[in-house]
Amino acid sequence: MTHTFYKYQGTGNDFVMIDNRQSIFNKKNTKLVAHLCDRRFGIGADGLILLEDHDAYDFKMVYYNADGNESSMCGNGGRCITAFAKHVGIIQDIAVFEAIDGLHHAKIEGDLIHLQMQDVPHVERYSDHLFLNTGSPHHVQMEHQLNTLDVKSQGAKIRYGHPYNSSGSNVNFVNKISDDIFAVRTYERGVEDETLSCGTGVTAVALAMNYTGETTKDKVTLKTLGGDLKVSFEKFNDGYRNIWLIGPAQQVFKGTISC
């Protein structure tokens, strides 16, 4: 079967995007998803996203990790599918869509896609790290030697270690640059490697840095290997609300593949 696809990237976090409003894609075929995401034998991507019809909202987002399994929320993917929805004419500059973690609002302002994330009611603080769920689970820890860190090796140890074990967690290593700027490198479960950027990851970092007092700001810049993202938020009780992930999202190319 031949599939038409689009390749999108948001600060280097890249996705195979397929318009599945006609339900033509076999969603149970995890091997197919993994093949399409394979960087040597397929198209190559950190994940695959299906855009589907929704009865009440603009569209539905279905996200798969590069290993072929449907996954938790992807922030950069949410920004990319918003840009894709505009490209295919579903929306103009404002969207409401459903993802695996619930409803999301999004807006397009020039080259930037603003995606509202789910509220985070609490943050877990430990002696050497924090843990919080921003649509996906995230471990956050400070790392002063960020440039030379072996993120794949160190991230894998934490991702599979206690207490995460088989369910796993994404792992973020952070270095403070200033009160409102932080450098971030992320190991993503499902990709099982470092990615150039992670939307739910930088969201988790921004909230964690505010929670620990590393920043007093309510809008933070996160510098990833793939570019800069911004996260704005409101502190609410022991958690956060009105959380927005802001950054670029671009179509790289369109193609067809037989598989």
What confidence tens digit (pLDDT) does each residue in 26-61 have? 999 999 999 999 999 999 999 999 999 999 999 999
As a whole-number percent, the residues of the chain with pLDDT over 70 amount to 100
- Assess whether pLDDT exceeds 90 at residue 166: no
259 as an active site residue: the answer is no
Find out whether 48 and 64 touch, Cβ atoms under 8 Å: yes
Is 114 domain-assigned? no
Q: Are residues 13 and 39 in the same domain?
A: yes
- Assess whether pLDDT exceeds 90 at residue 227: yes
Distances (CA, A) of 164 to 123, 128, 131, 132, 197: 16, 15, 11, 12, 22
198 as an active site residue: the answer is yes
- Assess whether pLDDT exceeds 90 at residue 162: no
Which entry of 37, 80, 198, 259 is annotated as an active-site residue? 198
Question: Taking residues 143-154, what's their average pLDDT?
Answer: 97
- Three-state DSSP class for 209? helix
Residues spanned by the domain of 26: 2-105+249-258
The CATH number that applies at residue 79 is: 3.10.310.10
Which entry of 37, 74, 80, 259 is annotated as an active-site residue? 74
Cβ atoms within 10 Å, residue 149: 16
Question: Taking residues 211-238, what's their average pLDDT?
Answer: 97
For the chain, counts of helices (H) and of strands (E): 4, 17
Question: Taking residues 52-75, what's their average pLDDT?
Answer: 96
Q: Are residues 89 and 194 in the same domain?
A: no
Query: What is the pLDDT at residue 1?
Result: 85
- List the one residue out of 195, 146, 191, 196 whose CA is nearest residue 168: 191
Q: Are residues 80 and 146 in the same domain?
A: no
Q: Are residues 101 and 158 in the same domain?
A: no
Which of the four pLDDT bands, split at 50, 70 and 90, describes residue 112?
A: very high
Query: What is the pLDDT at residue 218?
Result: 97
Query: What is the pLDDT at residue 216?
Result: 97
User: Range with the lowest mean pLDDT among 59-68, 160-169, 243-252?
Assistant: 160-169
Query: What is the pLDDT at residue 165?
Result: 82
Q: Are residues 211 and 133 in the same domain?
A: yes
- Assess whether pLDDT exceeds 90 at residue 184: yes
- Assess whether pLDDT exceeds 90 at residue 96: yes
Is 118 domain-assigned? no
How is residue 184 written in tokens?
């971030």
Q: Are residues 222 and 253 in the same domain?
A: no
